[in-house]
Amino acid sequence: MKPDQLLRPMPAGLYCPAGDFYIDPVRPVARALITHGHSDHARAGHGAVLATRETLDIMGIRYGEDFCGSMQAADFGERIDLNGVTVSFHPAGHVLGSAQIAVEKDGLRIVASGDYKRGADPTCTAYEPVPCDVFITEATFGLPVFHHPEPKAEMGKLLTSLRQFPERSHLVGAYSLGKSQRVIRLLRDCGYDAPIYIHGSLARLCDYYVSRGIDLGDLRPATLEKGDPTDFRGAVIVGPPSAFADRWARRFNEPLIAFASGWMMVRQRAKQGGVELPLVISDHCDWPEVTETIRELAPSEVWVTHGREEALVRWCELAGVPARPLHLVGYEDEGD
């Protein structure tokens, strides 16, 4: 069997004709396998959905319990038969519940890694390499210029700023699923044990992380209605970046805007967003991680999805690994 008989790019997403299912489809389909809960990968309105327990729970929190016709939870490593095709889910290290999906038939195995990273992250299960014939990789930061620094060192910048500007409310922009919980956990691991205030849109997902055993410490709602802005003097407030462009943010005491994202390596992006304190913290592989992963797995072929496909395809070719871009559309990761 040729690889593109087992899995092929279609307008709705990666499709397996033999198993009759899609992986992370961008439009409603009869059967969807979902790698993780970010909104560009996990959409509402499918018939049957197969995903990890955490991803299903996260979809329920974001879209309501009736987000699909029927659902099935897959444990990591469990082998599930779909019309003669074997599928299994393996940790991707991206956000809580995130998985790579292995698809196998007649001795051929393709691994669709979804979004993944190799760096340590105490808020989710670490990436596990899965040997395969074809490795499908994202290339969000697929340019040699992208090297993500040590996350704790980035957190150190925030702690330094808190000491330098004890009057100012430090508003940390972080996407609601994954990044915000990781930022909070990182602060705790750096010894910050004061209350952390969260925007209302993060509350349910933070509660869910806590219910899955991820200790986030003392979290309180960042509501100004009752008190006055000086209540938040010198406090850390975490919220989605969109909220910081809003009047909500300006009501805090001398707000200092930080933003935790892999894109903060690009000075221009930080400037445009009015970010005073860029924190380069990413839930995706940087260039060394993605290229080391391909070397480690040594697949006979690499398919590159969303991101900077051409540079990584070229790197693979120079390394002697046949590669092609998939040109899938609709994946603009909300959790970069």
Residues forming the site for Zn ion (CB under 5 A): 38, 115, 333, 335
The DSSP element (H or E) to which 249 belongs, if any, is: helix 247-250
Least separation in angstroms between residue 317's CB and Zn ion is: 27
Q: In what order do the strands lie in the sheet with 219-221?
A: 219-221, 196-198, 236-239, 170-173, 256-260, 277-279
**What secondary structure, in 3-state letters, does 149-207 show?**
CCHHHHHHHHHHHHHHCCCCCEEEECCCCCHHHHHHHHHHHCCCCCCEEECHHHHHHHH
Least separation in angstroms between residue 97's CB and Zn ion is: 11
Least separation in angstroms between residue 305's CB and Zn ion is: 12
Least separation in angstroms between residue 303's CB and Zn ion is: 18
Cβ atoms of residues 31 and 20 within 8 Å: yes
Nearer residue to Zn ion within complex by CB, 40 or 133: 40
Least separation in angstroms between residue 177's CB and Zn ion is: 8
Nearer residue to Zn ion within complex by CB, 115 or 154: 115
- CA dist 145 and 123 (Å) reads 27
Tokens of 185: 């956990």
**Phi first, then psi: what are they for 173, rounded to 5°?**
-80, 130
CA terminus-to-terminus distance, the chain: 35
Least separation in angstroms between residue 318's CB and Zn ion is: 28
Nearer residue to Zn ion within complex by CB, 39 or 86: 39
Nearer residue to Zn ion within complex by CB, 99 or 187: 99
- CA dist 201 and 176 (Å) reads 7
Nearer residue to Zn ion within complex by CB, 154 or 283: 283
Least separation in angstroms between residue 215's CB and Zn ion is: 23
Nearer residue to Zn ion within complex by CB, 95 or 257: 95
Cβ atoms of residues 59 and 205 within 8 Å: no
| 282-297 core/surface letters (b: 16 or more CB in 10 A; e: else) | bbbbbbebbbebbeeb
**Could you tell me which of 201, 184, 204 has the C-alpha nearest to residue 193?**
184
Burial label for 178, CB within 10 Å (0-12, 13-18, 19+), is buried
**Could you tell me which of 280, 286, 288, 273 has the C-alpha nearest to residue 140?**
286
Nearer residue to Zn ion within complex by CB, 116 or 197: 116
Nearer residue to Zn ion within complex by CB, 115 or 309: 115
Nearer residue to Zn ion within complex by CB, 115 or 289: 115
Least separation in angstroms between residue 235's CB and Zn ion is: 29
